Structure 1
Amino acid sequence: MATYHALVVLASACMLIFLGTTTEATSTTHPYASFIHLASVGAWFGISFWVTFVAGVLLFKYLPRHQFGSVQGKIFPYYFALSLVLTSLALASWVHLEGGLDLLAAIKSGNEDGKVVACLGGAALLSALQLLVLGPCVTKAMEARNKKEKEEGFADTTSKVGRSPELLQLGAEFARMHGLSSTANLLVFLGALFQLYVLSAKHVTFATMAPTVAKATFWPWS
């Protein structure tokens, strides 16, 4: 618990450092801002891809159902915390590299920077929602369902035949919360994919990102 709370504090501190040292009146950027942006987006995409499409699938395939849920319940708080840190760093470093954007004004404008800010900001907010709300709710619902399944002798089967109405209700609640969390996770992953496309469309290198990000020559919405 303390570890991923510390990561959240780290993300907040990094955002304040970046956003507080860049204004619209100056194009001066932190010497490592481009590296931090590329590293945060790359790590964000990497952990999202691994947890969603590799580790999760393999654990589900090879572990007993209840054990799989317990392992995921231990992994996800750290996964969501890292997602929050990385998306926050990606957002803050992008704003920093662009010379200090007005976030709300950029989003309302609907231009390229606005779409990027909306994507990165949305991913950060969803990561925070996962960490603070959806993740704990999924774990709580899973533990309640698993406990009732053990009491009724359904720990090793997914069959609904013979289950009590209470157990069916607990299963439905878990499915609902898990569906919301999975949807949020997929959106965060798509956010990373989108930002990678943005960077590739801008032909980004360390040289072209600093002191300001090169303007795109091709955008999917242009």
Structure 2
Amino acid sequence: MDQDQIKALFDQQAEGYDTQWVKTAPIRECLHFLLDSLFTDLPDDARILCVGAGTGAEIAHLASRHPGWHFVAVEPSGAMLEECRHKAERGGFADRCTFHEGYVESLPADQRHHAATCFLVSQFILDEAERIRFFAEIARRLQPGGLLASSDLASDVASPEYAVLLRAWMSMMSTAAVSPEMLERMRHAYANDVGVLPPEKIAALIAAGGFSLPVRFFQAGLIHAWCSRRD
């Protein structure tokens, strides 16, 4: 799928997105729990860039714990960004958010952020050179030494381990509000439209984009997450 197709897909899913994935919340909550410890040394007035913010789950989590932090939500799907805005308004932190409909490269690079999140986003970029440029665009918008917490689906798809993980992953997905038809589309997408790469390869792409020592701090099924620091 190209960018327009991906955007259209998330536009369609936006209204019921949080409800659809509520049963997989333990994965997200664990990731956010570990994110707290990674960002613990950020200043009280930190600026956080959230790339591919979706409906704003990580922003809501961080905003509830850090009343002085400000957030820039970058999201190409206007419908998803609107859900993010509504969540911020309901949570009482919309005045600490800037909502940018578009891609990270369309965000001005003159304001540098203390940290960034990028959860399950780069996996949709199939070309490795483009994926490196994506991370480089994030790095451009961070202060020197700024932190990046990123996650993607990752595995060696040619390995026997992947078959085991994929079977378990699809079983877990079936417990959510996901139809058999959608499960089959997801299985097809993982093989054709999502850049599922070995974890070591993704870490190398992050490093090539201008980050030092990507450290894997989380895994749940096929989701892996790294913390790295802008060079």
Q: TM-score, normalised by structure 1?
A: 0.28
Structure having the higher helix fraction is: 1
Greater RCO between the two (CA within 8 Å, min separation 6)?
Answer: 1
Structure having the higher strand fraction is: 2
Q: TM-score, normalised by structure 2?
A: 0.28
Flag the structure with larger Rg: 1
